[in-house]
Amino acid sequence: MFRPSVLLVEDDAFQRAAAEAFLNGNDLRVIAVENGAQMRRQIARAMPDLVLLDVHLTGQEDGFALARWLRETSPKVGIIMLTAAGDSVDKVLGLESGADDYVAKPYEPRELLARCKSVLRRSASKVTPALLERIRMGGHTLDLSRRQLLDGEGRDVALTSGEFDILKLFAENPNRPLSRDWLLETTSHRSRDPFDRAIDLRVTRIRRKLEPTPQKPTVIRTVRGVGYMFVPPAE
């Protein structure tokens, strides 16, 4: 039987052991670690289906920073933040950092399990555009197999290799904000410095080719403080 993989990041030894034992006993496959460094090492081995991430971790990185790193590393991994009870700031910051849901401490184990299964179901039910060959982008169509962008009349729109690579990432991750750092690292295999404008320049060129009004983009939208997001046309 398939058991989804869960990475639990919790620095309290008692809570970590209790949650690990309960979730392992309920059809999930849990690996538990106590800090961000251990989380990163585990992620390097294999990306789990879901990460349970305590907000207030000891060490240099808190849960918010780790959530942002996780979301940049994998737009598809499920993330649930474990927050202090009644702390609405933690909940908002967690969701803004890329989390899918949150659970307030102290939590009932069955509530945690229900939230895990809910996020896992949502992840599993997503249609992966990467499995498709042609993706609509506004009035244009991206043909993945031929590496072409076609306008509404079926005419080829010239793309550089870098522009196609970015459009492919957008097509594979619809309605999800993608950071500039992640886009650059994935397409160019290098880190971005604070003044690096390579991604912004490519997106500007792409918008000129597929947006009806590039100054007011509706297909590739800017997400303030994060990067960009592809919004598929309404059916």
Domain layout of the chain by residue ranges:
5-125, 129-230
Q: Which pLDDT belongs to residue 128?
A: 47
In terms of C-beta density within 10 A (0-12 exposed, 13-18 middle, 19 or more buried), how is residue 1 classed?
exposed
Q: What is the pTM of this model?
A: 0.54
d(CA 174, CA 75): 10
- pLDDT tens string, the chain, 235 residues long: the values are 568 899 999 999 999 999 999 999 999 999 999 999 999 888 887 788 899 999 888 777 788 889 888 887 777 788 999 987 565 555 566 667 778 888 888 899 999 999 999 888 876 655 444 445 789 999 999 998 888 999 999 899 999 988 999 999 898 888 888 888 788 877 775 555 555 678 899 999 999 999 999 999 999 999 888 889 999 887 5
d(CA 125, CA 122): 5
CATH number of 129-230, picked from 1.10.760.10, 1.10.3720.10, 1.10.10.10, 3.30.420.40: 1.10.10.10
Closest to 113 (Cα-Cα) out of 26, 12, 46: 26
- How would DSSP label each residue in 110-147? HHHHHHHHHHHHHHHHS--GGG-SEEEETTEEEETTTT
Closest to 81 (Cα-Cα) out of 51, 45, 118, 38: 51
d(CA 39, CA 41): 5
Q: Which pLDDT belongs to residue 222?
A: 93
Task: Give the pair of three-digit tokens for residue 181.
Answer: 């750092």
Neighbours of 99 (CB within 10 A): 25
Contact 19, 112 (CB under 8 A): yes
Q: Which pLDDT belongs to residue 129?
A: 46
Contact 231, 211 (CB under 8 A): no
Q: Which pLDDT belongs to residue 207?
A: 96
Q: Which pLDDT belongs to residue 225?
A: 80
DSSP 8-state assignment for residue 175: T
CATH number of 5-125, picked from 3.40.50.2300, 3.20.20.70, 3.30.300.30, 3.30.1370.110: 3.40.50.2300
Read off φ and ψ for residue 6, nearest 5 degrees. -130, 130
Angle CA 106–92–83, to nearest 5: 15
Q: Which pLDDT belongs to residue 131?
A: 47
Task: Give the pair of three-digit tokens for residue 140.
Answer: 């244009």
| First-last CA distance in the chain | 36
Q: Which pLDDT belongs to residue 111?
A: 93
Hey, which bits of the chain come out as E strands? 5-9, 29-33, 50-54, 78-84, 101-105, 134-137, 140-143, 148-150, 156-157, 178-179, 220-223, 227-230
